[in-house]
Amino acid sequence: MNDRFSAFRHSSYRRYFLSRFMTSLAAQVVSVAVAWQMYDVTQNAALLGWIGLVQFLPALLLVVVTGVASDRLGRRNVMGASVSVELVCAGVILALALTGRFDPLIVLATLTVFGVARAFYTPASSSLAVNLVPREDFANAVGWLASSWQAASILGPVAGGLLYGVGAGFAYGTAVSLFAISAILIFSIPKPPQRIEREPTTLSVLLGGFKYVFNQKVVLGAISLDLFAVLLGGAVALLPIYARDILEIGEEGLGLLRAAPGIGALIMLAIITAFPIKDHAGLILFVSVALFGISTVVFGYSNVVWLSIVALIFVGAFDMVSVYIREVLLQLWTPDQVRGRVNAVNSIFLGASNELGEARAGFMAAKWGAVFTVVAGGYAAVGVAAAWSVLFPGIRKTRDLHHGVPEE
């Protein structure tokens, strides 16, 4: 088999890969359908903010236990249990939609439980891949996982928009089916080898992920840069407003808007794969974040459909550079015995940048309008890139991503 597919020689990885893809696809379908239905029913931009907030808060409040659960209870078990809970939550929202009882408070409560499941799922799923393939195939495995996630981020919103156009039940029902298949695939994976610490679960153990990240200044700078750039510059939560009120393109158009950043990210991932970042990685990171902000500004001002889609494609492309650099640093620089806890910390940064960013956008839009919120956020992302280049000179001076990778 060609080396490009070396990770797929391992049957456990194949099941894991399909499971993660289906879970991501289902989550995207639910995200698009819930956001559109919530805004369609209430016309309340603040509720779009609450959708993000209730999914982020569990990850923040549970961060000291989710990573330890991944490291101590078995990553496959935690991952499978989490997807099973997501399946139940999607089923509840499906029932609400089919019975015509789509109450915002009940939906937000269900999404809170969904957020708890995601809080455990993220560090477990991020950490499991390294236990399923030999070290020489790990880079290939990570590359395919990144591609599958981007594919899901493209197909999921489009499918969610189209399915919701047919009927809300079709969208949520599809998500339920995907979560069910994903759970079956996870539990079919034989128990993988995993280095587990047997020391008592002390406060020091619980906070081990934070300690590692804060001691690695380049890692801290990279993930916090992404956090603040997307937290301030993210526009995803307001796409239902743009689709319905500004661009007037309906739920199918919302699917296209949600898919556009994924298309850009997939294109950029292909470019990075063909032409790996071998030098000036830090400089490339800062420039990409600044261009992410500029692309967001263009989208914010646009009231032309094709320009809006192109701007979002560039948003996704430049964001992918930051994601790629952060993932390489985290997964290759982190010892296996603390990888779950470090990925739990990373999930907090990711959640803060995505879900908390959605909350920030929703609340600001309710007060000052969607256009001002998106444009101001884009300019803020440019400012963050400039500030971080001064605050973290170690990143600016970083040239080779693989320099300083710890030995096993």
Distances (CA, A) of 213 to 142, 229, 235, 376, 382: 20, 19, 28, 30, 24
Q: What is the pLDDT of residue 281?
A: 76
d(C-alpha 374, C-alpha 196), whole Å: 44
275 band by pLDDT with thresholds 50, 70 and 90: confident
Q: What secondary structure letter does DSSP report for 247? A: S
Which region among 34-43, 57-66, 395-404 has the lowest average model confidence (pLDDT)?
A: 395-404
CB 299 within 8 A of CB 239: no
The four Cα atoms 110, 343, 53, 365 give a dihedral, to 10 degrees, of -140
pLDDT tens-digit profile of 187-245? 998 876 555 554 544 456 556 667 777 777 777 887 788 788 878 887 777 888 898 88
Q: Given a cut of 60, is residue 400 above it in pLDDT?
A: yes
Residue 406 has pLDDT above 60, yes or no: no
- Mean pLDDT score of the chain, rounded to an integer? 82
Opening angle at CA 339, ends 334 and 344, nearest 5? 120
Higher-scoring residue by pLDDT: 347, 33: 33
Segment 48-99, tens digit of pLDDT: 888 878 887 887 787 777 777 776 777 888 899 999 999 999 999 999 999 9
N residues, the chain: 408
Question: What is the Rg, in whole angstroms, of the alpha carbon atoms belonging to the chain?
Answer: 20
Query: How would residue 116 be classed by pLDDT, with cut points 50, 70 and 90?
Result: very high
Q: What angle do CA 164, 169, 173 make, to 5 degrees?
A: 105
Alpha helices (H) along 216-280: 217-233, 239-241, 250-274
* Alpha carbon separation from 320 to 7, 86, 227, 295 (Å, rounded): 22, 26, 13, 13
Q: Tens digit of pLDDT for each residue in 385-397?
A: 999 988 888 777 7
Residue given tokens 């195939």 in the structure block: 137
Work out the average pLDDT over 94-105: 92
| Residue 371 vs residue 335, higher pLDDT | 371
Least confidently predicted of 67-71, 148-152, 308-312, 369-373: 67-71
296 residue type, one letter: T
Average pLDDT over residues 343-350: 70
Task: Count the neighbouring beta carbons within 10 Å of the beta carbon of residue 104.
Answer: 15
> What percent of the chain shows pLDDT beyond 70?
86
Four-residue CA torsion sign, 199, 205, 209, 213: negative
- Report pTM: 0.71
State the CATH architecture for 3-189+201-396: Up-down Bundle (1.20)
| Residue predicted with more confidence, 145 or 301 | 301
Q: How far is 193 from 121, CA to CA, in rounded Å?
A: 19
- Average pLDDT rounded to a whole number, residues 122-133: 78
Q: At how many degrees (to 10) do helices 11-42 and 250-274 cross? A: 150
Euclidean distance between CA atoms 102 and 36, whole angstroms: 12
**pLDDT digit string (tens) for 248-274?**
888 778 878 888 888 898 888 888 877
Strands (E), 96-136: none
Please spell the DSSP secondary structure of 131-184, one letter per residue.
GTS-HHHHHHHHHHHHHHHHHHHHHHHHHHHHHHHH-HHHHHHHHHHHHHHHHH
N- to C-terminal Cα distance for the chain? Answer: 28
Q: Which tokens hold the place of 378?
A: 């884009």
The answer to whether residues 145 and 20 touch, using CB atoms and an 8 Å cutoff, is yes
Burial of 310 (0-12, 13-18, 19+ CB in 10 A): middle
- What is the percentage of the chain residues whose pLDDT exceeds 90? 30
Q: Which residue reads 């500029």 in tokens?
A: 294
Q: Which residue has the higher pLDDT, 277 or 370?
A: 370
